[in-house]
Amino acid sequence: MPRSAAATRRRILEAAYGLFRRQGFGRVSMDEIAAAARLTKRTLYHHFPSKDQLLSSVLEAQHELALQAFRSFGDKLAGSPEAIVEGMFRELAVWADRPRWAGSGFTRLVIELADLPGHPARVIARRHKAQLEACLAELLAGSGISQARDLARAVWLLSEGAISLILVHGDRGYSRAAAAAARTLVRSYRR
């Protein structure tokens, strides 16, 4: 029975995402991706002519999933601005407690590609982070913050910093520290 191109493409994207997440973009070969997807390298190159194009497609697919997840997560974030940021950082601590947690794949890949400013994956990651920040701004605006975009940017910065330091130190306490800083910021935006 012939395989559907869409199913094969989805399998490649899932295999590549798993490998990129665990090992990083530079340390994964197309041979490893083909083996993980259980197909030939020829089939892999038929769907994705280059590793860079594959990475871009992986990030596009993950962007949609992550954006949907944040929006549904955002549905749980309600009430006062303090409650919103408290819930956000509480969920970060829960996320960071998962076995083999590796932080934000988008952030990790952009750091890995830091010397390639025009790489398509960096463009996708930039758009992804901007959309998540905009979602947070909408939540904060809905809670009565007039400068919601500015506050969202500051809170997002705390979130990214907490993620990075949790990865470096293995200490989820950075999420609590970021939440405390975010509450202070919220109070300053209420004045």
**Taking the complete model, does pTM exceed 0.85, yes or no?**
no
Looking at the chain, the whole-number percentage of residues with pLDDT higher than 90 is: 65
Mean pLDDT of 48-54: 94
pLDDT of residue 3: 65
Spatial separation of the C-alpha atoms in residues 120 and 123, rounded to whole Å? 5
Q: Please give the mean pLDDT across all residues of the chain.
A: 91
Question: For the CA atoms of the chain, what is the radius of gyration?
Answer: 19
CB neighbours of residue 146 within 10 Å = 10
- Superfamily in which the 1-49 domain is placed by CATH: Homeodomain-like (1.10.10.60)
pLDDT of residue 42: 96
67 vs 89 pLDDT, higher one: 89
pLDDT of residue 191: 64
- Distance (Å) of CA 9 to CA 4, 46, 73, 90, 121: 9, 10, 28, 35, 18
- pLDDT tens digit sequence for 102-153: 888 888 888 888 898 888 888 999 999 999 999 999 999 999 999 999 999 9
Domain 51-190, CATH among 3.40.470.10, 1.10.357.10, 3.90.1150.10, 1.10.10.10: 1.10.357.10
Tokens of 111: 């750091």
126 vs 2 pLDDT, higher one: 126
Within the chain, all domains assigned CATH 1.10.10.60 are found at: 1-49
**8, 7, 14: which is closest to 65 by C-alpha?**
14
22 vs 147 pLDDT, higher one: 147
Within the chain, all domains assigned CATH 1.10.357.10 are found at: 51-190
Cβ–Cβ < 8 Å for 74, 66? no
pLDDT of residue 76: 76
Cβ–Cβ < 8 Å for 40, 23? no
- pLDDT tens digit sequence for 69-96: 777 766 778 889 999 999 999 999 999 9
pLDDT of residue 2: 53
Spatial separation of the C-alpha atoms in residues 45 and 33, rounded to whole Å? 11
